[in-house]
Structure 1
Amino acid sequence: MKPTPCLLALALSMPPAAFARQVDPRGPEQMLKGTIDKVMGAIRSDPGARAGDPERTLEIVRRDFLPSTDFMLTTQYAVGSAWTHATPAQRDALFREFQTLLARTYAIQLTQMRQDDTQFRYAPTDRPAADADDAVVRTTVVTGGDTMAIDYRMRRTAAGWKIYDIDMMGAWLIQVYRQQFAARLASGGIDGLISYLAAHNRGP
């Protein structure tokens, strides 16, 4: 079916923003809570994930968690100054492999939190200033009598607030991986780091 002149005129008259990805109007804490609720709801309703299947949990993380992240920024910060020397193809490969690693790491953590009695508690946070681009949302996970602190660092983007760093075990992921990547970059350069990440993601 060919578009009619009226439809073409209407489309041409719409501002570019009308075709852009919808902006999430929620603040950082509300966005994070909505994302976690969606992920945990999917895990509990999926028989495989509910039983602790890491691959099923990973599929849920990819589908429901990754859209709320900016792991390209995470990759850039973790790689450090070497990022500026990477080619576009190398940057894409670094991002792809590192995002896979981060998704698997988060999925493994979630397999330990799939019980029905697991609760996510959100510490009161100061409302970020209207022009603030960065925020930290602190959470406590209570499951099976154990308590774990998980904090999320978030960045304001054109599409809303996105997660770009996570503190799951007392250290921020960017800080941990920056140290590991520095050693790999020193010995094998950018391609060496890409190969290392790809091999790690393939497993033994």
Structure 2
Amino acid sequence: MKSTFFALYFSVLSFLPSGVSAGGPAPDQLIGKLSGDVLEILQTNESLRAGETTQVVGLVEQVVLPHFNFRRMTMLAVGRDWRDASPEQQKRLMDAFYNMLVRTYSNALTQYRDQTVQVRPLRASPSDKIVKVQTEIRQPGGQPVTVDYVLEQRADGWKIFDIVVTGVSLVTNYRGTFSQQIRLGGIDGLIRSLEAKEREFTPRSGQS
């Protein structure tokens, strides 16, 4: 999934054309501001450019991830087994999924180089509650990567709940893995697996 988050990161850096309004910043305006903020931080913060883990995680949590709907992402990734989870298990699933994504996303962020983003025209009407922004990530010496960036309208603004990279949905991709883990170890087994994954990305004592 590392390449998925790498593509996701550069889709966040895209400047989108004008589009749907939701009683707050339109999705294109939201991403435009977000991308500007992230680019400025990346270009001016030496610790981030050096790949200092704690600094990168802080950037992701403070600037990028507040614009994600993690409850919906977790529900979609877990699928029908979500209904069988207790409220406590659902919370642990969301927390573990969130922490794993933060670390994976942060690792992708440290690999920023000279990628560019081409944004396709946004096709949406003012009444749309869900919009899809199509982008193409261009990497020096590599093939372009197509990214569909999916947002939903909520009371507190537009939130990301899925990313489709070269035709593969992030949440659908995780759903297959999660279903297998649930069959083997139940909901608690999936939680343990996610928490273990998060620990793999956590710096050991003495590391940055």
Q: TM-score, normalised by structure 1?
A: 0.78
* Alignment-mate amino acid for residue 132 of structure 1: D
User: In the aligned structure 1, how far is the partner of 2:137 from the partner of 2:69?
Assistant: 23
* Alignment-mate amino acid for residue 176 of structure 1: N
SS state at 1:203 partner: helix
Q: Is the 8 A contact 1:68 1:163 kept in 2?
A: yes
User: In the aligned structure 2, how far is the partner of 1:36 from the partner of 1:108?
Assistant: 18
1:165 maps to what in 2? 162
Root-mean-square deviation over aligned CA pairs: 2.1
Q: Which runs of 4+ in 1 moved over 6 A?
A: none
User: In the aligned structure 2, how far is the partner of 1:145 from the partner of 1:49?
Assistant: 24
2:8 maps to what in 1? none
Shift in CA distance, 169/29, structure 1 to aligned 2, threshold 3 Å: same
Q: Is the 8 A contact 1:79 1:182 kept in 2?
A: yes
1:86 maps to what in 2? 85
Shift of 1:24: 6.2
User: In the aligned structure 2, how far is the partner of 1:130 from the partner of 1:140?
Assistant: 24
2:152 maps to what in 1? 155
Unaligned runs of 5+ in 2: 1-21, 202-208
Q: TM-score, normalised by structure 2?
A: 0.77
Shift in CA distance, 77/92, structure 1 to aligned 2, threshold 3 Å: same
1:44 maps to what in 2? 43
Unaligned runs of 5+ in 1: 1-22
Shift of 1:47: 1.2
1:107 matched to 2:106? The reply is yes
Q: Percent identity?
A: 31
User: In the aligned structure 2, how far is the partner of 1:132 from the partner of 1:86?
Assistant: 31
Shift in CA distance, 42/55, structure 1 to aligned 2, threshold 3 Å: same
Shift in CA distance, 112/143, structure 1 to aligned 2, threshold 3 Å: farther
1:62 maps to what in 2? 61
1:20 maps to what in 2? none
Number of aligned residues: 179
1:174 matched to 2:185? The reply is no
Shift of 1:108: 2.4
SS state at 2:168 partner: coil
**Farther-moved stretch of structure 1 (101-110 vs 179-188):** 101-110
Residue deviations 1:111-167, cap 9 Å, x none? 222x3x4433322111x2233211111223345454433331111111111111123
* Alignment-mate amino acid for residue 129 of structure 2: D
1:97 matched to 2:93? The reply is no
Say which of 115, 135, 140 aligns to 2:136. 140
Q: Is the 8 A contact 1:24 1:161 kept in 2?
A: no
SS state at 1:156 partner: strand
Shift in CA distance, 155/68, structure 1 to aligned 2, threshold 3 Å: same
Larger C-alpha radius of gyration, 1 or 2?
1
Shift of 1:103: 2.1
Shift in CA distance, 148/110, structure 1 to aligned 2, threshold 3 Å: farther
1:130 maps to what in 2? 126
* Alignment-mate amino acid for residue 77 of structure 1: L
Work out which structure has the larger RCO, using CA pairs closer than 8 Å and 6 or more positions apart in sequence: 2
Shift of 1:51: 1.7
